[in-house]
Structure 1
Amino acid sequence: MAKPAGTAKPIGAARADTALPVRLDRVSGVPLAVQLADALRDAAANGHLRGGDRLPSTRALASRLGVSRTVTSAAYEQLHAEGWIAGRHGSGTYVTTSPPAGRPERRAVVEPEDSTPDLLELTLGQPWAEGLDRAAWRRAWRAAADAPPLSTAQRAGLPEYRAVVAEHLLRHRGLDTGADSVLATGGTTAAVVELANAMLRHGDLVAVEEPGYQRAVHAFRSAGVRVAPVAVDGEGLRPDALPPGVRAVYCSPAHQYPMGGRMSAARRVELVERARAGRFLLVEDDYDGELRFDVAPLPLLAALAPDVVAHLGTTSKILTPTLGAGWMVAPPAVTSVVLEYRDRTGTRPAPAGQRVLVELARHGDLGRHLRKLRRELSERRTMLTSALRAARIPVLGDDAGAHLVVPLPSAGAERELVAAGRERGILLDGLCRHFAGEPTAHGIAIGYSGCGRKALRDALDVLVELLGGAGAGTPLGAGGGSGPSAR
């Protein structure tokens, strides 16, 4: 472990020829007692001290180092608790053993970066967080803090939150369900993790959209579940391509992720019939179903077949990931095993974000934000698609959500365009990373909600130049018919 620079003051061990340097940095933010304990551990690890060596008394060591005895006593107490030293009555303090060689340094946790701060981020999954009314946001958090602390875990979620979600689903998604049928979750990915671990067994087969949401794919695989990618086209996932023996099918029928199409009514009926006949569960990820601009939000699979559908929703795309709040509406047998899983593991969704959503809904701020969000994203999409189509660059996907797709002729063109975008200060999202298997379609998925409107407008000329130069609009690679048709 690296030692802070400072003035070295040697201390003697049991043998007269042994001098142990200890450096204490008095301007460091690390407490002196912690520095001293670290130094003694290092001395044992590098051979300056060995088992059986006698240490100076706390008083003598404090005098030599010019520190208070409180510092040396605290360091010795820590090492004694860890088992590195022991006191012998009437004899002194001795080293009992040495730490393992090559101990790694303690380092701060560094999360992997998903983006570069200096780039304009036009990737998928970013909400319009800057559009939140800050006064309403602060009011909701203050009101949420007024609620008394919980004394027991609410495994299913706060009752008031479940009631708000039930009302939200009825108003904005057309799903008539009672609050008792709603489970709070930490978001759609967290819900997939719970479903994979609670109701599926190791080796079970789950069908997923291809291309699709790879965090869900990794959640299934981490639970030991086998994943079967199933192609999508302009009408969504193809039920006729489902492999035999699946236990569940994961899909995003209202706004396929990432291609942006909608599942047709005929496909929905066919998928439900297959689920009932095959006795498998449909996992409906409705990650941004509230964001439709051309017609009313599409009906949910859960409204069509509540007996075989687990509906998942989230606040991350319509509000902010800060809340860490989502929901699940599923058949009683499914919710029961999820609650049993939470009991066994001691897990539950955090209630703080639930309380904030309740307060946003209570004052009407949630509804006002959704109306403002739809207007803003609709205008952004129109601005973006108008610029692209004026340059004869086609756009894939429905008039909905917070992203669109531009097809490219090859994986090479996709890689080159993403690299060129970085050079021009724009972070773009290639389709290849959304495939669980070998990519069969290539293009750029452009997210338009995470940045400011002016920044998006200023980037239009660069986007048009880059996409036009990369051959945008030619067939979608080897599987050109797998994505939604250009609009």
Structure 2
Amino acid sequence: MELPPLVLDRDGEHPLPVQLADALRAATAGGVLRPGDRLPSTRALAATLGVSRTVTAAAYDQLLAEGWVSARRGAGTFVEETPPASPDCSKATFTQSDGMKVALLQAGGGVDLTAGSPCLEALDPAAWRRAWRAAADAPPDAAPDPVGLPAFRAAVVEHLLRHRGLPADPGSVLATSGSTAAVAELARTFPPGARVAMEEPGYRRAVSALQAAGCVVVPVPVDAAGLVVDAVPPGVAAVYCTPAHQYPLGGRLTAARRVALIERARREGFLVVEDDYDGELRYDVAPLPLLAALGPDVVAHLGTASKLLTPTLGVGWLVAPPAVVDAVRAGRDTTGLRPARAGQRVFVALAAHGDLARHLRRLRRELAGRRAAVVEALGGRVTGEEAGAHVVALLPDAAAERAAIAGAARHGVHLDGLARHHGLTPGTSGIVLGYAGPSRAELLRALPIAAAALAAGATV
């Protein structure tokens, strides 16, 4: 097994065994060392690093005690399959020298706390394999499908009814390649140069998809209660919003604003594009009714399997009024765009065996626990609803935001600032912290670093 670069600082304040244990632990948490990897013997590693065997043996003993590695008689020392997430880990801090941190980060050992990645640790490998085997039983397709498999659309209808309270007719459902792809398809049905209202700050990929289709994006402010409906200008063709969990600030569109938005859409003739990218993930109370349930005649509802399961499937869904469904289908006939069937079949298999519902229950428990750990680590800085897979930690200004990002990066933790989610001059500064993508061990090790960077940034 070839280890990543390990640089020990003999003049550092921490003992060499501590430095070495920290480096190996970080490499394991960061994925540089993978479960099942065999570590060099203490003698071989000591020779490589130019230290005594006492140093390497003490480091291994510490990792053995923590459960990060295991010793197999006659075989050697191996990285454990599931490193523990103990309270001690959650309070630990990196003690490597700067040289070691840089070396590990260059080797891919950093922790990415940006939002947008699914929680793959919650996905049952056995269920995943079983679904792919079931999907492979279907014969190859002889022709493309512009609508989506009937079984997939039926599974989506059942999922929306059970988990989002949305009664939908299979005829109103189209398979998509994901939420952003669906936004792009909808945008191509709008008149040339159509003005589309967009949350500010908001989802930049949706902005790019709209602009690529020739739409003029009109920023509309958001606050703790979501999109400010009264600020939507007249004359727009559509309004894009994330009402269940505003991205990125995390607010929930209030019931009064939902009603006001639907009423305006009916009165003024625009389409509401409801991106429900993580609406299944709520941890405090039941979500408010979907906009599509309140106004099925004026709302195009978008969902995706990317955050719920994995982007590997490349599938999502669109539930929309008949005229919108027909326009999207016509666009597919013209462009040849078709959602792939493989991911649809896997989704169907997961739903058919009950694995999808079990996964969702497991995912909610896992992410609720992770969110609690984030809130505890960051204290009162966290804003947003108890939902989804990210939180926002506000900072006083852009300088504090940049300082926090830079401070965390020096310790191998990648943070995302609010600045890049604005199309205009940022009116809010802070960090958008995702907690689904890293492993639990990575998250618990990175949180003290993120908290320290935020605290330091706030003092700039």
TM (norm. structure 2) is 0.76
In structure 1, C-alpha distance between the alignment counterparts of 2:376 and 2:121, rounded to whole Å: 24
Which of 342, 354, 361 does residue 352 from structure 1 map onto? 342
2:306 counterpart SS class: coil
- 1:399 equivalenced with 2:383 (yes/no): no
Partner residue in 2 for 1:459: 446
In structure 2, C-alpha distance between the alignment counterparts of 1:340 and 1:419, rounded to whole Å: 48
1:132-175 CA-to-partner distances (Å, cap 9, x unmatched) read: 11111111111101101111221110010000000000000000
Which of 242, 246, 249 does residue 236 from structure 2 map onto? 246
- 1:383 equivalenced with 2:373 (yes/no): yes
Which of 441, 449, 456 does residue 436 from structure 2 map onto? 449
- Contact 1:291-1:297 at 8 Å conserved across structures: no
Partner residue in 1 for 2:246: 256
Partner residue in 2 for 1:214: 204
* Structure 1 runs of 4+ with >2 Å offset: 115-118
Q: How does 1:200-239 map to 2 (within 5 A)?
A: 200-239=190-229
1:243 counterpart SS class: coil
- Contact 2:405-2:453 at 8 Å conserved across structures: no
* Deviation (angstroms), 1:419: 1.4
* Deviation (angstroms), 1:460: 2.4
- Contact 1:293-1:400 at 8 Å conserved across structures: yes
Partner residue in 2 for 1:79: none
- Contact 2:148-2:175 at 8 Å conserved across structures: yes
In structure 2, C-alpha distance between the alignment counterparts of 1:342 and 1:228, rounded to whole Å: 27
1:58-99 CA-to-partner distances (Å, cap 9, x unmatched) read: xxxxxxxxxxxxxxxxxxxxxxxxxxxxxxxxxxxxxxxxxx
* Deviation (angstroms), 1:437: 1.6
In structure 1, C-alpha distance between the alignment counterparts of 2:418 and 2:107, rounded to whole Å: 19
* Deviation (angstroms), 1:375: 0.2
Q: How does 1:103-252 map to 2 (within 5 A)?
A: 117-197=108-188, 199-252=189-242
* Deviation (angstroms), 1:331: 0.4
In structure 2, C-alpha distance between the alignment counterparts of 1:450 and 1:378, rounded to whole Å: 14
- 1:343 equivalenced with 2:330 (yes/no): no
- 1:271 equivalenced with 2:258 (yes/no): no
Gaps of 5+ in 2: 1-105
- Contact 1:172-1:297 at 8 Å conserved across structures: no
* Deviation (angstroms), 1:326: 0.1
Gaps of 5+ in 1: 1-114, 475-487
Partner residue in 2 for 1:74: none
* Deviation (angstroms), 1:346: 1.1
In structure 2, C-alpha distance between the alignment counterparts of 1:439 and 1:461, rounded to whole Å: 27
- Contact 2:118-2:310 at 8 Å conserved across structures: yes
- 1:334 equivalenced with 2:321 (yes/no): no
The letter of the residue matching 2:180 is T
- Contact 1:397-1:404 at 8 Å conserved across structures: yes
Which piece of structure 1 moves more, 116-125 or 221-230? 116-125
* Deviation (angstroms), 1:297: 3.0
Partner residue in 2 for 1:5: none
Give the share of equivalent positions with the same residue, in percent.
60
Number of positions where the alignment pairs a residue of Structure 1 with one of Structure 2: 355
In structure 2, C-alpha distance between the alignment counterparts of 1:463 and 1:429, rounded to whole Å: 11
In structure 2, C-alpha distance between the alignment counterparts of 1:116 and 1:325, rounded to whole Å: 32
Cα gap change, 1:242 to 1:116, in 2 (>3 Å): farther
In structure 1, C-alpha distance between the alignment counterparts of 2:405 and 2:201, rounded to whole Å: 18
Partner residue in 1 for 2:296: 306
Partner residue in 2 for 1:292: 282
* Deviation (angstroms), 1:116: 8.7
Partner residue in 2 for 1:421: 408
1:350-407 CA-to-partner distances (Å, cap 9, x unmatched) read: 0000000000011100000000000000001011101222xxx421100000000011
Which of 351, 356, 369 does residue 366 from structure 1 map onto? 356
RMSD: 1.4
- Contact 2:239-2:271 at 8 Å conserved across structures: yes
Partner residue in 2 for 1:409: 396
TM (norm. structure 1) is 0.72
In structure 2, C-alpha distance between the alignment counterparts of 1:467 and 1:288, rounded to whole Å: 26
1:250 counterpart SS class: strand
In structure 1, C-alpha distance between the alignment counterparts of 2:343 and 2:287, rounded to whole Å: 25
